[in-house]
Amino acid sequence: MIIRPVLRLLVAAVAAAGATAGLAQGDFPNRPVKIIVPFAAGGPADNYARFIAQRLQAELKQPFVVDDRPGAGSIIGTDAVAKAPPDGYTLLMMSNTHTVNESLVPNKPFNLLNDFVGIAPVNYSDLMLVVHPSVPAKNLAELLALAKASPGKLNYASSGTGTPYHMAGELFKHMAGVKITHIPYKGSSGARTDVVGGQVDMMFDAVTTMAPMAREGKVRELATTGLARNAITPDLPTVAEAGVPKYEATIWLGLMAPKGTPPEIVSRLNAQVRRIVAQPDVKAAWAAQGAVPMSMTVPEFQQYLKDDIAKWADIVKVSGAKPE
């Protein structure tokens, strides 16, 4: 006689829990969402995270807050997301720093494919090779000659070990057969400041950030790193054109969430990001900055991540790059 009421209560409790979970997912988001950027403020990841956050907030009617947590080549902020509840309310703005780190830094406290799920890519942009105006090289050929004449004398700044700026330099060293010294910083802002100030000779930096500085004469632009000339610097040759055949290096950004985040939430965020990057005003604004929108389904992005990890594993191996 007692069992039936107890069973009814248990069934009701399970049904209520299921309904609550369904409501939580179907009503997502119903409170603020945090996007952790594991890089310093002022760089491409921070800038585009804020852009995407603003658009998502307008679309989904809840605050999307950007939280910069730089350090250890992106590992500190990324680990914070890996340990966050998998409920869609803590997201990661990642870059190809993360796919590089899978082979460059094997002893991380997380594994990108095991501990995260890809939501969507955001965009990619070429890098720009620049030197301080005091460096006696007016073009890439002269820079290569200078580097070969004095091995190890020239140095280049990056936003940290494993970042696209670092790997662009390592790939350049390997393919051009030159020896230049890597100077890692804790973020792109510090690296950029010291190149502009003349404390460091050169840098590979996002064209979206460095092109305005080149126009102002703060640095001398030598080449861009895509396979084709960049739309905002059509008169500037690529590295491949100017002396290092087949060279290519870009920076791309994407959103991820902790593994276990409900597929319905991942799919909703994917759809919203794809809608945002497809908007004509977004395409136009990013084109003016030298950035190209990327759009993929969730499965396509997962495969893209796997392929990029494999690509950079090869480059890490041939370049001999090591964690600082």
Q: How far apart are CA 147 and CA 193, in angstroms?
A: 22
CATH architecture of 126-242: 3-Layer(aba) Sandwich (3.40)
CB 204 within 8 A of CB 225: yes
* pLDDT attached to residue 26: 66
- Residue-by-residue pLDDT tens, the chain, 324 positions: 444 544 454 444 444 444 444 444 569 999 999 999 999 898 889 999 999 999 999 999 999 999 999 988 899 999 999 999 999 999 999 999 999 999 999 899 999 999 999 999 999 999 999 999 999 999 999 999 999 999 999 999 998 888 899 999 999 999 999 999 999 998 888 999 999 999 999 999 989 889 999 999 999 999 999 999 999 999 999 999 999 999 999 999 999 999 999 999 999 999 999 999 999 999 999 998 889 999 999 999 999 999 999 988 988 887 777 776
Provide the token pair at 321. Answer: 């790059």
Provide the token pair at 172. Answer: 């350049």
Amino acid at 164: P
Are 31-124+252-319 and 126-242 in the same CATH fold? yes
Report field, pTM of the whole predicted structure over 0.85:
no
Cβ neighbours, 10 Å, residue 18: 10
Provide the token pair at 223. Answer: 């080449």
* pLDDT attached to residue 311: 87
Cβ neighbours of residue 76 closer than 8 Å, sequence gap 6 or more: 38, 69, 70
Q: How far apart are CA 233 and CA 288, in angstroms?
A: 10
* pLDDT attached to residue 4: 52
Amino acid at 81: V
The CA distances from residue 88 to 32, 141, 255, in Å, are: 10, 49, 11
* pLDDT attached to residue 186: 83
CB 228 within 8 A of CB 238: yes
Q: How far apart are CA 168 and CA 142, in angstroms?
A: 19
CB 169 within 8 A of CB 209: no
Q: Give the largest Cα separation in the chain, rounded.
A: 94
Which residue(s) pair with 258 in the sheet? 116
Structural domain spans, the chain: 31-124+252-319, 126-242
31-124+252-319: CATH topology: D-Maltodextrin-Binding Protein; domain 2 (3.40.190)
Q: How far apart are CA 126 and CA 99, in angstroms?
A: 17
* pLDDT attached to residue 209: 86
* pLDDT attached to residue 43: 84
* pLDDT attached to residue 324: 66
Q: How far apart are CA 271 and CA 259, in angstroms?
A: 19
